[in-house]
Structure 1
């Protein structure tokens, strides 16, 4: 009876811990139902290792739904509980599984050193008792940890060991491709992905994931058509019920491809679809991870306000700011668990002392209570100090992120301003050259027309003289039209709103007046205008005075300054 009571107490304790871990997760109702199902199926005579095996599906659910904090806490607790009574091979098998699960949770939370330790414990047990399949899984996850920390050499060694242990597979080749990509060995990475595709034939989920990686790698290599085909294959090979994360990865890779190809409109539409249709399906952990990437994509498209919104939302969910909260929460829950373990151990010790010496019971209770109070007070002090430090660190990180974002926006603005000034300067120089060429052609045509007029005087036949005069007239008309249209077309590339704003302000101006305004707006002096138009400086000055009267401008006001005030204001508002 005592043994059954202890096992029931163990089951109740694990159930209480599980419910505590999952109560704040998005899938708390689902987890509660699963916990109740497990408890209903468990017999009272289950041993600790058998009980742990029945609860192991919860760890896989935590991994699938991204609730890694709950996974770490539960897996770590069960591992330590089973370790106390493990004696059979099956006991060590379940211990290795929980060590692997805890390692996965630590890795995803960013506690890489703790994750490595748990993987080492699991792999040591698996090697000792010959659990080859489980050892393969641990090697795969440990390689992922080294890959996440940028230690590609260790990751590659783990994968090579895995290949010699379990043979070639689609997942193995895919992971090797990612490592080679990290080492910038792109041809080898592509070859590994092709091998992964061959090994994954028939497995739609694996094929889709491999094609996603191949599409992203080809985009990085600049092979855009091949990348698009790979991503389309990834979309085509998705299982009937789409894997939410795989769908998100496909869409994000399409955005990267469109940006690389310069198709910014398509990229923007794809991001909006991701935010509206794909992201709501994801867990908070996945949202926090990929919203930061979406913010980066928005920055590449010059949508800084949207980028800032995504970045702030990401920080609230799962980036460095919230990461400190997770550390604090993990620390608090670990401390709570250790206190509970200490309490349980002390209670067991108290019961043994009761059987040995009933007289020591009261004094033992007092000692245990004193220890617990002291521990709790110490924990409260530590948690309070930790909380203040984390809040200060959060504020500093927020200010730093905002400062970086403002600096980035300022640099982008300055770069765009310099580029526009350079472009306008180039167009202005081309326009000046073109104006000189036009004026030269105009002068040449005038000389030809004068020669034709002189020639017509010497022609006796009336019909011939009329034809010569007609040719001269057509040449003047065509020359004037071509010069006006050519100058207008070129000048509009520099100041597209010039004609509209000038006509709106002064509809009484002639074409020659508008041409003179354009020269003045370009900053040309009367001497430079006379050289371009082949006129005397005095003639240009008279034209400027007539223009000043037409636009009712006082002698103390600069014509160019006035033109800039009515033209440049319109351009700024349009931009």
Structure 2
């Protein structure tokens, strides 16, 4: 189907209304086709033809000048619309060649924005061609009509017109014949006839590979066929064949300048293949390549596909920050894409209205009946424009509604997270409280233990067995307290690691000893309690606390525990 994109520049036609004039247009078409990529030369041709018109007054040269002017806008085909309409107006059906080409071109421009209206122009071009003895590019018109039906998901009608096109092409037009077999494959793919899709694509590839020498357009189309075949093999779960064809296409497109759209589409298929076959390293390679390529991609829809692939990869991991970043980027790109489509739709609508108004004004001077006919056409355009506008408004409204629902869902998630966080804080406070109690209990037990030792030492009556039992009992109490303290500390080890990591990154001047003490200060332990845990004096702990406050850059009267709990 991509072949239609080069059709307008490719076709070489002969005249049927005015033999001499049509031969002249045939020469101009060949000249424009050769210089299609050189805007400067096309402009020179346009100026030359206009000069001939000024010198001779022959309308043929005015038409050829307007015809060349259309080629000045091949990089932005949507902008061709007013120029093609002007060409048709100047031609005024004098040369059926121009009428067919003009209507066909308008149909192609309106294909995505106004498909029903596009079909109207296409049918008009087909009617012109079918009424003539020489069926000028009728096969291409059938091809286009088949594609319009395909886009409308009317696959039976689409196949009928592809078959008509195939039978109308000349036997030596291998590019277009191969294109028809590719179209059959696309229809079979939509109907889930996977094996038949593969067979038709293999047939199309064989037709082009049998050519002795392929031009640039044929090479590009051949590569798109291999890309399609790789995807069909993937659907058939023939992963080895699929990977071979997709990698071949991927490497080809990477070697070409500005083939970003094809690169991204092929990368998307490769990622799906590696995901299905659990080849995580190759998935990583695809996403890494796309991230490096992203800054070079200009098309918004291509950027959306690229970031959707990256998002799939991130969603498999646990890096919430990256997932959030790519999700926000996708949301922004989708807004940008919607705005572009809205702008294009508005442009098409404006240009169509200008065309109709201009046509009404022009025809009013000649025939009132034609004016009424044009008014009906204008009404049709306005209705279509209103329908498009209503559809867009409904789409925007629905999108806003969905975004609001997403925002509400996110708020619920945030509220739930806040509740969980509050519960976690309460749990941590309880742990700290228990730790304080255990420390105090240990201190008191140790005091009793020492007092008992002193009492034993002072006592003259010594019952060794009884003393040992008593000492063992108190030692066991101390060990149980230490075990509870260890369990409490171990429960928060993961949290402590995260805290220490964040603290050391924010304040790299802190030593390991100071970082360890910050854990205790964060739990609001007293200097005496910390000295017991660290086997040091409480005075030393207070000195450390002063030094830590200084390094953290906080005032002496500031609560260190409160500050540390903000990290």
Shorter chain as denominator, the TM-score bin is 0.5 to 0.7
Aligned mates of 1:408, 1:210 — CA distance in 2: 44
Deviation at 1:115, TM superposition (A): 1.6
8 Å CA contact 1:298–1:306 kept in 2: the answer is yes
**2:21 equivalent to 1:94:** no
TM-score by length of 1: 0.53
8 Å CA contact 1:212–1:253 kept in 2: the answer is no
Question: Are residues 120 and 292 of structure 1, via their aligned partners in 2, closer, same or farther at CA, if it must alter by over 3 Å?
Answer: farther
**2:153 equivalent to 1:150:** yes
Alignment of 1:123-138 (within 5 A): 123-132=126-135, 134-138=137-141
Deviation at 1:191, TM superposition (A): 0.4
2:79 to 67, 70, 84: 70
Q: Which residue number in structure 2 is paired with residue 297 of structure 1?
A: 309
Structure 1 unmatched ranges of 5 or more: 1-28, 351-380, 414-505, 507-540, 554-558
Aligned mates of 2:59, 2:500 — CA distance in 1: 74
Question: Are residues 409 and 275 of structure 1, via their aligned partners in 2, closer, same or farther at CA, if it must alter by over 3 Å?
Answer: farther
8 Å CA contact 2:189–2:197 kept in 1: the answer is yes
C-alpha deviations, 1:454-474, integer Å up to 9, x for none? xxxxxxxxxxxxxxxxxxxxx
Deviation at 1:193, TM superposition (A): 0.8
Alignment of 1:111-122 (within 5 A): 111-122=114-125
Q: Which residue number in structure 1 is paired with residue 243 of structure 2?
A: 228
Question: Are residues 123 and 148 of structure 1, via their aligned partners in 2, closer, same or farther at CA, if it must alter by over 3 Å?
Answer: same
C-alpha deviations, 1:59-81, integer Å up to 9, x for none? 56755x3x242133333443344
2:491 to 531, 554, 564: 564
Question: Are residues 550 and 561 of structure 1, via their aligned partners in 2, closer, same or farther at CA, if it must alter by over 3 Å?
Answer: closer
Aligned mates of 1:175, 1:279 — CA distance in 2: 34
8 Å CA contact 1:146–1:152 kept in 2: the answer is yes
**2:146 equivalent to 1:219:** no
2:481 to 546, 549, 559: 549
Q: Which residue number in structure 1 is paired with residue 21 of structure 2?
A: none
2:352 to 319, 334, 342: 334
Question: Are residues 162 and 550 of structure 1, via their aligned partners in 2, closer, same or farther at CA, if it must alter by over 3 Å?
Answer: same
Deviation at 1:56, TM superposition (A): 4.1
8 Å CA contact 2:250–2:267 kept in 1: the answer is no
Aligned mates of 1:184, 1:411 — CA distance in 2: 41
Deviation at 1:173, TM superposition (A): 1.2
8 Å CA contact 1:212–1:250 kept in 2: the answer is yes
SS at structure 1 position matched to 2:270 = helix
8 Å CA contact 1:214–1:230 kept in 2: the answer is yes
Deviation at 1:316, TM superposition (A): 1.6
Alignment of 1:25-424 (within 5 A): 34-35=42-43, 37-42=45-50, 43-44=52-53, 45=56, 51-56=62-67, 59=70, 62=73, 65=75, 67-82=76-91, 84-86=92-94, 91-107=95-111, 109-132=112-135, 134-166=137-169, 169-201=177-209, 202-203=213-214, 204-235=219-250, 242=257, 244=259, 245-274=261-290, 276-277=292-293, 280=296, 287-301=299-313, 302=315, 303=323, 305-317=325-337, 320-344=338-362, 396-400=397-401, 402=403
SS at structure 1 position matched to 2:153 = coil
Aligned mates of 1:390, 1:131 — CA distance in 2: 42
Deviation at 1:563, TM superposition (A): 4.6
RMSD value over aligned CA atoms?
Answer: 4.7
C-alpha deviations, 1:333-383, integer Å up to 9, x for none? 33334444455556x679xxxxxxxxxxxxxxxxxxxxxxxxxxxxxx99x
Deviation at 1:141, TM superposition (A): 2.2
Question: Are residues 112 and 387 of structure 1, via their aligned partners in 2, closer, same or farther at CA, if it must alter by over 3 Å?
Answer: closer
Aligned residues: 371
Deviation at 1:39, TM superposition (A): 2.4
Aligned mates of 2:133, 2:121 — CA distance in 1: 18
Question: Are residues 234 and 562 of structure 1, via their aligned partners in 2, closer, same or farther at CA, if it must alter by over 3 Å?
Answer: closer
8 Å CA contact 2:178–2:208 kept in 1: the answer is yes
SS at structure 2 position matched to 1:129 = coil
Question: Are residues 190 and 104 of structure 1, via their aligned partners in 2, closer, same or farther at CA, if it must alter by over 3 Å?
Answer: same
8 Å CA contact 2:49–2:64 kept in 1: the answer is no
SS at structure 2 position matched to 1:211 = helix
Deviation at 1:212, TM superposition (A): 1.2
8 Å CA contact 1:197–1:210 kept in 2: the answer is yes
Aligned mates of 1:410, 1:31 — CA distance in 2: 54
Q: Which residue number in structure 1 is paired with residue 447 of structure 2?
A: none
8 Å CA contact 1:299–1:307 kept in 2: the answer is yes
Aligned mates of 2:287, 2:120 — CA distance in 1: 39
Aligned mates of 1:142, 1:543 — CA distance in 2: 94
Question: Are residues 99 and 337 of structure 1, via their aligned partners in 2, closer, same or farther at CA, if it must alter by over 3 Å?
Answer: closer
Deviates more, 1:385-394 or 1:259-268: 385-394
Q: Which residue number in structure 1 is paired with residue 8 of structure 2?
A: none
8 Å CA contact 1:99–1:122 kept in 2: the answer is yes
Deviation at 1:58, TM superposition (A): 5.6
Deviation at 1:190, TM superposition (A): 0.3
8 Å CA contact 1:324–1:390 kept in 2: the answer is no
Aligned mates of 2:98, 2:500 — CA distance in 1: 69
Deviation at 1:199, TM superposition (A): 0.7
Question: Are residues 56 and 288 of structure 1, via their aligned partners in 2, closer, same or farther at CA, if it must alter by over 3 Å?
Answer: farther
